[in-house]
Amino acid sequence: MISKSNGQNKIIDNEVSVSKFGAIPNDTINDRIAINRALLYCKENQIKKLIFPEGKYILEHPKAISLMNSVLDLKMGKNPEEVIFSPYYKYIKGLDIYGHKDLELVGNGAELICKGWMEPISIENSNKIKISGFTIDYYWLPHSEGKVIDVSNTYFDVHFSQDYIVKSNMVMPRIMFFDTKKDRIASEPLYFPIKNKLIAPQTLRIWGNIPVNYKNDIALINHSFHFRPAILIHESQDVAIENVTIHSQPGMGIVGHRSHNILMSGLRVVPKAGRKQSTNTDATHFTSCTGYIHFKNCMFEGQGDDATNVHNYYYTITGNIEDKYITKVNAPTGTHAQVLDYPDVGDAFELVDKNTLKKIKEITVKEVVTLPEKWETHLTFNEPIPIDIDRYLLINITRLPSLHMEGCTIMSHLARGILIKTRNVRIENCTIMESTGTGIHIGAEGSWHEGPGSANVTIINNRIIRCGRGDGVQNEASGIAVNVVSSNPAKNSVHRNLVFENNIIEGEHAKYGIYVTGADDVVIRYNDISGCKIPIYIEK
């Protein structure tokens, strides 16, 4: 359907404005229903561009506000993640992009302001989707930032501006600190302080031990760990996120699960001007994907976990009925999209030793039965698994995307910069500065049920500066760590074909610049390493 008019409400050349459906920027009225009405119209009429005039759009829902209030009032317990980040937990979507094909959302600098905890942009079962020119933020932030005004042996006091709602018994599973003297996230956060109490207007006393020199620093109080991401990409393909900024989210920035070909160009997960924190947890996280994950000229700062983590899941074999094996993902927090992970018929799996994470053999899926209500996938393979099934884990190596990160900046955040558990990887011309954890980690992590061993990884022409100072450091390495995390980690043959070339690594009183274990065929050359007692260590 193509028509023309002179006003803002127009359909020209297969595009339409959200204003046509009642979403008017800057009018302070809830725009969520109107925008979703526009999305439905686009799907039904094969409209290829949905235009957002510049300005602020409110995304609001009573259930999202109720959830937020329940979390803040401790109705979800001291660790809300255990409730709100669980399989198939119901939540509110902001923009619901479901079943779309060949659609571009053009933001023109539009701000999506969320009132209540939700998933602002949800892309599911869609193909050829482009999101460009948006900023995502919250009206009531999912974290609170205040100045540490006093520190004693048993408690410390924090004063907040009027921008924050402050009361006794605030939920705070974690407090990060921003070092105002060094202008970066401090090396160690405080997890689950004992209690807190309002002692003066906008001033909290928090019982817990922190260094005395944290006085006058900024306390970043996270009101939850994981919840829904700012952008979900699920069971979709050929998705581009371009020039999008995420300022805050009570969870991760972007989660991609069982999707194919994802491009992020000019993505920024960074604090809003005047703030120190962005997302509560990972900036981005990709699981069970195929094709490519491509970051180009992106920026990450102030998030509460890794800038990116790309992996699949180790399946636990809990039993079998003849040739059908009962499997589960027993990761501590479930899958990161909180939906069942499963393979397709024909996918290749590695059978690995549970204790060492070494590959035993490769097998192929012949039949798949999914039971989401039991969190189980029943699998039949082209050959039987050895009878002592408790010794093994399974991992899908067909659903491993290539990873390319180029020209990106990662700075001042908690945990690791880049976490690699995939194959065919190139990290180039990036700057990773002052993450509390190791700058780049290539790992197979049995404890998190995340893997597999990585292969064909090139890390070239990067700067990794003053990383590995505290929370998230791997093997005491500042720049690059390669390891295996399991009960009896293999010293070789888990990772293979790694090249670390022409990188500048500057440690801050670090033990290692580069640490390698559990790998074969590693080439390390032409790197410039300083500030590390042992520049390069390879465990034989």
Number of domains in the chain: 4
In a domain, 23, yes or no: yes
Confidence category of residue 11, pLDDT binned at 50, 70, 90: low
Final residue belonging to a domain, choices 197, 222, 247: 222
Q: DSSP secondary-structure letter at 412?
A: E
The three-state secondary structure class of 45 is helix
Cβ within 8 Å of residue 452, ≥6 positions away = 312, 314, 350, 352, 357, 359, 395, 397, 400, 421, 444, 494
The pLDDT mean for the chain works out to 97
The reply to whether 8 falls in a domain is no
CATH (domain of 156)? 2.40.10
On the CB side of 263, CA atoms within 13 Å amount to 14
Q: Could you tell me if 534 and 430 lie in one domain?
A: yes
| Distance from chain centroid for Cα 470 | 20
Owning domain of residue 114: 15-139+226-281
Q: What is the pLDDT of residues 403-426, one digit of tens each?
A: 999 999 999 999 999 999 999 999
| Residue 7: inside a domain | no
For the chain, the straight-line distance linking the first and the last C-alpha, in angstroms and rounded, comes to 66
Average pLDDT over residues 3-17: 62
Judgement on whether residues 274 and 332 belong to the same structural domain of the protein = no
pTM greater than the 0.85 cutoff = yes
Q: Which of 266, 281, 296 is the last residue of a domain?
A: 281
Using alpha carbons only, how large is the chain's radius of gyration in Å?
A: 24
Task: Name the DSSP class of 249.
Answer: B
pLDDT digits (tens, 9 = 90+) for 444-482: 999 999 999 999 999 999 999 999 999 999 999 999 999
User: For residue range 240-287, what is the model confidence (pLDDT) as tens digits?
Assistant: 999 999 999 999 999 999 999 999 999 999 999 999 999 999 999 999
CATH number for the domain harbouring residue 21: 2.160.20
Contacts of 324 (CB under 8 A, 6+ apart): 367, 369, 378, 379, 380
The neighbouring-strand residues paired with 296 are 265, 406
The pLDDT tens digits of the residues spanning 296-309 come to 999 999 999 999 99
pLDDT digits (tens, 9 = 90+) for 397-406: 999 999 999 9
Q: What is the pLDDT of residues 491-520, one digit of tens each?
A: 999 999 999 999 999 999 999 999 999 999
β-pairing verdict for 190-191 and 174-179: antiparallel
pLDDT of 4 reads 41
180 and 197 co-located in one domain: yes
Flag whether 423 is in a domain: yes
Cα dihedral 447→452→453→455 (10° resolution): -150
Euclidean distance between CA atoms 291 and 233, whole angstroms: 14
Q: Are residues 131 and 242 in the same domain?
A: yes
Residue 305 lies in a domain: no
Cβ-contact 514, 525 below 8 angstroms: no
Token digits of residue 501 = 């070339």
In Å, how far are 267, 306, 394 from 331, measured between CA atoms? Answer: 28, 17, 13
Select from 93, 84, 140 the least CA-distant residue to 115: 140
Q: Is residue 463 domain-shared with residue 447, that is, in the same domain?
A: yes
Same domain, 177 and 155: yes
Residue 68 DSSP label = H
Indicate whether 497 and 427 sit together in one domain: yes
Query: How many residues are there in the chain?
Result: 540
Q: Is residue 406 domain-resident? A: no
Average the pLDDT over 218-226 and give the result: 98
Q: Which of 259, 281, 303 is the last residue of a domain?
A: 281
What tokens appear for 14 in the block? 């297969």
Looking at the structure, tell me whether residues 461 and 327 fall in a common domain.
Answer: no
One-character DSSP codes across 165-231: ---TT---SEEEEEETTTTEE-S--EES-SEEEEEETTEEEEES---GGGTTSEEEEES-S----SE
Same domain (yes/no): 23, 134 = yes
For residues 467 and 510, give the distance between their C-alpha atoms in angstroms, rounded to a whole number: 9
Q: Are strands 218-222 and 431-435 parallel, antiparallel or unpaired?
A: unpaired
Cβ pair 429, 319 in contact under 8 A: no
Same domain, 149 and 132: no
Q: For residue 296, give the DSSP letter.
A: E
- 1 pLDDT above the threshold of 60: no
> If we measure between CA atoms, which residue out of 256, 295, 255 comes closest to residue 432?
295
Instruction: Answer whether residue 306 is part of any domain.
Output: no
Domain co-membership, 421 together with 491: yes
Please tell me whether residues 206 and 190 are part of one structural domain.
Answer: yes
Distance CA(158)–CA(168), nearest Å, equals 12
The answer to the question of residue 404 being in a domain is: no
**Is residue 196 predicted with pLDDT exceeding 50?**
yes
